[in-house]
Amino acid sequence: MHDRMQRMGRGAGWLAAAVLAVSIGGCASTNPKDLHKYSGPDRVRSLAETKASDAAETSVVPVKTIHHSAYVSLSDVARAADLHSAWLRDGSYGIGDHDPVWKFRTGDSAAMKSGKTIKMQAPAVKDSNRLYIPISGLQSLFGSEVTLYAHGDSVSFLPRPVPHELGATGLSLPFLDAVPGASSDGRPQIAAAGAGKADTILSDARKFLGVKYDFGTGNYKDTGTFDCSSFTQYLFGKAGIDLPRTAREQAKLGRSVGRDSLQKGDLLFFYVPGRFKTDNTVGHVGIYMGEGKMIHSSPKPDDGVQITDINKAYWQETFLYAKRLLG
């Protein structure tokens, strides 16, 4: 089971500690055996809960000595950073919001973050179904999401200040369909071929209503499940459009469109609220259906592929942007 995340109130003395810089020695490699899912509970905090939390509160992760080197458990790191984590079907260990942005493998000295390789000074080590990484790798892996402080036998996680929050603009604006023959940026509306692809994608998407959500799942043909980005990747792939695996990577494609000029087939990107989350980090993706509806794979409010009315406060406030890949 996960160690319970320790909470500490405001304290000032140790906050002046230097950001981690620890030398790591070599470790033995271990191959995973009998892997099974190991994760914290799915938890999406409301904006009210997030704002009510004490901004100065910290989360503390204990340090474990492995082969004379300092390591931390990835399950503890994920819980401290308000992220989901699990052993994945391919034997790797994933961390993220609604899909695995970070992936680690037992015995590897490199990790993947949003499709990019990040080197660590020592390999990941599995112990009692937990995967541990050297604390020297935390800054390069998670430093853009949280502020880290090392204290000998523990590492503290603090929220990273964000000077400007993208979602603060137009939170009360509704999601609207584009007016035929016009667009907010002066571009022509979706071509007939693009509209046809959108209808095909949405028709296929409806066939999967009720299919269960599974964080970091593999190909649908092998697993029979989806997470948010594997769902969009699968559907767009069937329509001849290749998408990368995670929502963060998918968000880099296409052209931006306003929430008041949406069209069927547009990808909608959201952040997932949390004390360590900022509203400029993509954590979820869905497909716009028209008339203020989205089809997506999510653990909440229902478990699996579902159709959601996005003209509700939660979705209006967590919306980041929409991207158009069709037409």
Would you name the residues annotated as active-site residues?
228, 284, 296
Other CB atoms within a 10 A radius of the CB of residue 171 amount to: 12
CA–CA gap between residue 282 and residue 318 (Å, rounded): 10
CA–CA gap between residue 173 and residue 223 (Å, rounded): 38
**What is the per-residue burial (b if ≥16 Cβ within 10 Å, else e) of 288-326?**
bbbebbbbbbbbeeeebbbebebeeebbbbbbbbbbbbb
Residues 6+ apart with CB under 8 A from 119: 109, 110, 140
- Residue 113 belongs to what H/E stretch? strand 110-113
CA–CA gap between residue 70 and residue 93 (Å, rounded): 19
Distance of CA 53 to the CA centre of its chain: 21
Residues 6+ apart with CB under 8 A from 48: none
CA–CA gap between residue 292 and residue 260 (Å, rounded): 10
Distance of CA 110 to the CA centre of its chain: 19
- Residue 247 belongs to what H/E stretch? helix 247-250
CA–CA gap between residue 62 and residue 301 (Å, rounded): 33
CB 51 within 8 A of CB 151: no
Residue in 119, 113, 117 with CA at minimum distance from that of residue 100: 113
Residue 134 three-state SS:
strand
